[in-house]
């Protein structure tokens, strides 16, 4: 398996997320339950991994977290934990699912830890050559009219001014190898649906 395979990058992101998530969970538990908050944890703090902290946040969501963070954070918690659990139990996780989960970790880390947390997660991502922008985890406003890697087939294609040319690229099976559909219209529909956040 390649060092930069989606699975390995996901594993690295989970590891990088641990101190960020630990601080987020423990600070909220302490605020709510007081100095004996550690009694609410399933094991001593030193024995908890990223998955365990995700589980604690989900378990105590209503009482501890719901009124202090936006609802989409809970969605991110479940999404990340689902992919982690399937990976750990040797169930099928596609490269696309890993890529989506990596993007979710990046967004989640920023929401709970700010820009510094995003930088920590980004240290796990493969370094792409050239000045083009890696659009994973970004939105239309971040990339419009800029030089951007194709989100489906990074790093094989660079759009000189996003989103100009995306439809012709997506329609061609030989040009964009990151899509699963076969017909040109179906491929464009898949591309637009998968990367909706990159469109107005």
- Cα 67 to chain centroid distance, Å, stands at 23
pLDDT tens-digit map of 26-41: 999 999 999 999 999 9
Entry pTM? 0.67
Tokens at 151, concatenated: 């989100």
- Which residues of the chain are modeled with pLDDT < 50? 1
How crowded is residue 72: how many other Cβ atoms within 10 Å of its Cβ?
12
What gap in Å lies between CA 49 and CA 53, rounded to an integer?
Answer: 6
128 DSSP assignment: P
pLDDT tens-digit map of 103-127: 889 889 988 998 899 889 988 877 6
**Domain ranges for the chain:** 6-122, 140-198
Name beta bridge partners: 148: 133, 159
**pLDDT at residue 2, as a whole number:** 53
What gap in Å lies between CA 107 and CA 163, rounded to an integer?
Answer: 22
On whether the CB atoms of residues 6 and 83 are closer than 8 A, the answer is: no
Element at 158 (helix H, strand E):
strand 158-159
């Amino acid at each position: 398996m390649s060092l930069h395979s989606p699975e390995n990058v996901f594993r690295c992101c989970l590891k990088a997320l641990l101190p960020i998530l630990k601080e987020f969970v423990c600070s909220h538990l302490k605020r709510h339950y007081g100095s004996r908050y550690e009694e609410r944890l399933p094991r001593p703090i030193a024995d908890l991994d990223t998955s365990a902290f995700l589980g604690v946040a989900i378990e105590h969501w209503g009482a501890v977290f719901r009124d202090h963070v936006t609802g989409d954070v809970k969605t991110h918690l479940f999404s990340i934990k689902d992919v982690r659990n399937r990976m750990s139990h040797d169930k099928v996780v596609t490269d696309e699912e890993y890529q989506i989960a990596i993007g979710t970790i990046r967004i989640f880390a920023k929401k709970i830890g700010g820009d510094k947390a995003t930088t920590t997660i980004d240290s796990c991502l493969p370094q792409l050559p050239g000045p083009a922008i890696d659009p994973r985890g970004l939105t239309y406003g971040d990339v419009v009219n800029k030089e951007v890697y194709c989100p489906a087939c990074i790093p094989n294609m660079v759009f000189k001014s996003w989103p100009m040319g995306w439809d012709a690229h997506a329609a061609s099976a030989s040009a964009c190898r990151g899509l699963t559909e076969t017909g040109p219209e179906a491929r464009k529909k898949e591309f637009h649906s998968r990367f909706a956040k990159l469109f107005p």
